Amino acid sequence: MKEKILKDPEFQLWAIMMQASDLFHKARSKELKECGVTFRQAQVLFVLVANQGESTIGELARWLFRASHTISILIYRMERAGLVSIQKGPNARSPMKILITEKGRDLYDKCLNIESIHEVLSVISPEEREQLFKSLKKIRTKSFEYIHEVEQMPYP
């Protein structure tokens, strides 16, 4: 059984996609570390900027495909670092708004250098990139359907 799975072409494709994703993540994380921000913090800042500087924990969780409690922990750390501020809702049941601070926006601007992304993707042609983008969108959509996720977040 083990050998059969390892030789399955779809399993092999999945494995290489996961390896490529993990290594791409590490390359970008290395670049972001030089700016003084983690990969996850940069993701939050990106979503906040894409959403005109504010969002809720739930929205951030959906955009980043993470559990709300994971995002909450990250947000509280980012608040302590002065990258975001938390605005409580008008009542106890209202969601908190997460707002990007001036310091957060400055850090986001510092992290706009995406040399690692250009360098890694330079090994494929523009046509291959376009096809890869289309294929990954299809895979993402099917994955949403598979896990019965109702709300699909579009690319910002």
Residue 45 sits in a domain of what CATH number?
1.10.10.10
Q: What is the pLDDT of residue 2?
A: 67
Q: Domain limits at 155? A: 124-156
Do 60 and 135 reside in the same domain of the chain?
Answer: no
Do 80 and 132 reside in the same domain of the chain?
Answer: no
Do 56 and 86 reside in the same domain of the chain?
Answer: yes
Do 151 and 101 reside in the same domain of the chain?
Answer: no
Number of CB atoms found within 10 A of residue 34's CB = 10
Do 130 and 103 reside in the same domain of the chain?
Answer: no
Do 30 and 105 reside in the same domain of the chain?
Answer: yes
Helices 68-80 and 57-64 cross at an angle (nearest 10°) of: 110
Do 155 and 110 reside in the same domain of the chain?
Answer: no
Residue 68: inside a domain: yes
Residue 52: inside a domain: yes
Do 139 and 113 reside in the same domain of the chain?
Answer: no
Do 41 and 112 reside in the same domain of the chain?
Answer: yes
Cβ atoms of 45 and 37 within 8 Å: the answer is yes
Q: What are phi and psi of 8, to 5 degrees?
A: -65, 125
Q: DSSP characters for 69-85?
A: HHHHHHHHHHHHTTSEE
Do 37 and 103 reside in the same domain of the chain?
Answer: yes
| Cα atoms in the Cβ-side hemisphere of radius 13 Å centred on 91 | 1
Whole-model pTM over 0.75: yes
Do 101 and 32 reside in the same domain of the chain?
Answer: yes
Q: What is the pLDDT of residue 151?
A: 57
Q: Distance between CA atoms of 113 and 138, rounded to whole angstroms?
A: 28
How many domains, in total, are found in the chain? Answer: 2
Which residues, given as ranges, of the chain have pLDDT below 70? 1-2, 149-156
